[in-house]
Amino acid sequence: MKRFWKDAAPVGDGGGWRVELDGRPLRTPARALLLVPTERLAEQIAEEWRTSPEQVDPRAMPLTGLGNAALDRVAADKDAFAASLARYGESDLLTYRADSPAALVERQAAAWDPLLQWARRRFDVDFVVTSGVSFVPQAPNTVARLAHAVAALDPFRLAALSPLVTISGSLVAALAVLEGEVPPEEAWSAASVDEAWQLEKWGSDAEAEQALENRRQDFLAAARFLSLLD
């Protein structure tokens, strides 16, 4: 669509904040009022609309998109949405390691072991770590405790957690970002160890590098959305 507004601004609305375009409230694709929990988030969503070019690009508005998802997709069935994310704990990226070459094995361990150690302490769980890609089940207690942590989140945090999990393949890394255990860039570096290794091994590939950068930007946008909820 083409830009039709001159200005965008956050406006307090009861216990939340909405965004208005020239005085008209912004709505989600399902026509719900885009009402978010904090002024900081509303201001940054408004900024996405203020700085939009004449031809609107939804991909350049990741915070708006996540707000829409929280209201239209997550809130409609929060329990089912949380359960779908929690299933990543059954086969977390960090538990599947390469068995060679030694340099990659060491790099994975350096990036992934600290995250698993944090999750063990934080959630009182343990993890089965294996080499290869064959599915190895985690202990039911581990799966249940991670699922409980996800289920306790509100729709806005679940909406942001979703790309963190699906892009990285790691529920543990996503929860570490959510709880402020690791900076988002550090979590992304850990989650993309294998891709970085492949680029180093086989040389630069513009298309692969751009795809990886797009994923990185989406991952960091979700982390930013989370930071604006506090």
Claim to verify: residue 45 and residue 157 sit in the same structural domain: no
| pLDDT, average across residues 69-75 | 98
pLDDT reading at 1 higher than 90: no
Strand spans (E) along 56-154? 96-97, 130-131
Range of the domain at 30: 8-60
* Same domain as 88, residue 51: no
Q: Is the pLDDT of residue 204 over 80?
A: no
Residue 206's pLDDT band (cuts 50, 70, 90): confident
Domain co-membership, 50 together with 163: no
What confidence score (pLDDT) does residue 156 get?
Answer: 98
Q: Are residues 100 and 212 in the same domain?
A: yes
Domain co-membership, 111 together with 18: no
How many structural domains compose the chain? 2
In whole angstroms, give the CA distance from residue 41 to residue 168: 24
- Return d(Cα 226, Cα 220) in angstroms, integer: 10
Are 146 and 216 within one domain? yes
Residue 123 lies in a domain: yes
- 68 occurs within a structural domain: no
The residue type found at 87 is R
The residues with which 131 forms a beta bridge, in sequence order, are 97
Residue 24 lies in a domain: yes
From 101, 123, 106, select the one nearest 171 (Cα to Cα): 123
Identify whether 67 is part of a domain. no
Could you report the per-residue pLDDT of 92-123, keeping only the tens digit for each?
999 999 999 999 999 999 999 999 999 999 99
Q: What is the CATH number of the domain that holds 190?
A: 1.10.3580.10
The DSSP 8-state label assigned to residue 134 in this structure reads S
Is the same domain home to 86 and 148? yes
Which distant-in-sequence residues (6+ apart) come within 8 Å of 149 by Cβ?
Answer: 123, 175
Instruction: Judge whether 32 and 71 are in contact, CB under 8 Å.
Output: yes
Place of tokens 């509303």: 42
Q: Is position 65 within any domain?
A: no
Q: 3-state DSSP call for residue 20? A: strand
C-beta separation of 138 from 90 below 8 A: yes
If asked whether residues 55 and 89 sit together in one domain, one would say: no
Q: Are residues 48 and 106 in the same domain?
A: no
Say if residue 216 is in the same domain as residue 129. Answer: yes
Residue 3 lies in a domain: no
What gap in Å lies between CA 46 and CA 43, rounded to an integer? 5
Tracing tokens 């694709």 back to the chain, one arrives at: 29
62: part of which helix (H) or strand (E)? helix 62-69
Q: Which residues contact 228 (CB under 8 A, 6 or more apart)?
A: 38, 40, 41, 44, 63
The answer to whether 181 touches 173, Cβ cutoff 8 Å, is: no
- Assess whether 17 and 99 both reside in one domain: no
Residues 37 and 109 in one domain: no
Task: Return phi, psi of residue 198, to 5°.
Answer: -60, -40
Contacts of 71 (CB under 8 A, 6+ apart): 28, 30, 32, 34, 35, 155
Report the range of poorest mean pLDDT among 10-14, 43-47, 167-171, 197-201. 197-201
169, part of any domain: yes
Has residue 90 got a pLDDT over 90? yes
Assess whether pLDDT exceeds 80 at residue 75. Answer: yes
Q: What is the CATH number of the domain that holds 19?
A: 3.30.2180.10
Q: What is the pTM of this model?
A: 0.95
Under 8 Å between Cβ of 70 and 155: yes
Count of other CB atoms within 10 angstroms of residue 158 = 24
